[in-house]
Structure formats: C-alpha cells, structure tokens
C-alpha cells in the first residue's frame, strides 16, 4: 500500500497503515496524536519537521525542526522523547508567527525500538 504524497492526512492510523515516511504530511492534531500512539507501538520519533500546508503543497519551515534521540534507546527513553515531540508540535502549531501563516502540517522520521542498531 502506498499513500498519496499530495494529501494531508488527519489520522495517525493512516501513518501506521501506510507505513508513513518523511514524505507523508499529517495535520497538527494527527501529528500530536501520532506521538502518543508511537509510544504505545514501541516507535521512536527521531525527527519532526513542520511546515505550511496548502492543497497539494507542503512548504517546509526551516525554523520548525525538532530532533529527537538517536537509537539505541530504552522504551522509557522513547516515551519521554515522544512526549517532547508532541509538546513541540503543540507549541509550533499554536505559535503566532510574524507573517501570520500557521504551522499546520508535520512530517516524521521514526524507527521501531526493536529495529535499533
């Protein structure tokens, strides 16, 4: 199964269903929820990149990148890391920016804790 790179996804379950990657765009709410679900699935959020979504287009924000832990990590470290990623998403999606454009979409880099090298 593949996902549509021109679509903004509104459910974290789509990320897991389509084995999402750094080209799948998620709404702010879906991105926040993904961080919570990732911890339950033993997944480490390694990087979150925010941007501005307009139909069919994602504009990355260079001032909206969060780097998490690098593997290997324990499950407890992954949970804390993923909570920090969720807090970053909440902060960035509610921040008032000088140009008024909200950060309304996010992309992720993740790995399964069991697949760490």
**pTM of the predicted structure, to 2 decimals:** 0.92
pLDDT digits (tens, 9 = 90+) for 9-35: 999 999 999 988 888 999 999 999 999
Query: Which residue segment(s) compose the domain that 46 sits in?
Result: 8-115
Mean predicted confidence (pLDDT) in 84-110: 92
pLDDT of 116 > 60? The answer is no
Q: Where are the alpha helices (DSSP H) in 1-117?
A: 12-17, 28-40, 75-94
Q: Distance between CA atoms of 102 and 114, rounded to whole angstroms? A: 35
Q: What is the per-residue pLDDT across 38-51, written as a single tens digit (0 to 9) for each?
A: 999 999 999 999 99
Q: Which residues pair with 53 in a beta bridge?
A: 58
Residue 1 lies in a domain: no
What is the total count of domains within the chain? 1
In a domain, 24, yes or no: yes
Question: Is residue 63 in some structural domain?
Answer: yes
- Judged against a pLDDT cut of 90, whether residue 74 lies above it is answered with yes
Q: Is residue 22 part of a domain?
A: yes
- CATH number (domain holding residue 16): 3.30.190.30
């Amino acid at each position: 199964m593949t996902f549509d790179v021109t679509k903004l996804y509104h459910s974290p379950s789509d990320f897991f269903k389509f084995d999402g990657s750094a080209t799948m765009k998620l709404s702010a709410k879906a991105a926040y929820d993904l961080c919570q679900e990732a911890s339950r699935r033993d997944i480490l959020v390694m990087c979150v990149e925010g941007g501005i979504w307009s139909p069919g287009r994602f504009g990355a924000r260079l001032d909206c990148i969060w780097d998490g832990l690098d593997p290997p990590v324990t499950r407890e470290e992954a949970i804390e890391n993923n909570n920090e990623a969720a807090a970053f998403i909440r902060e960035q999606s509610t921040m008032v920016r000088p140009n008024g454009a909200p950060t309304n979409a996010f992309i992720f880099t993740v790995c399964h804790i069991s697949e760490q090298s």
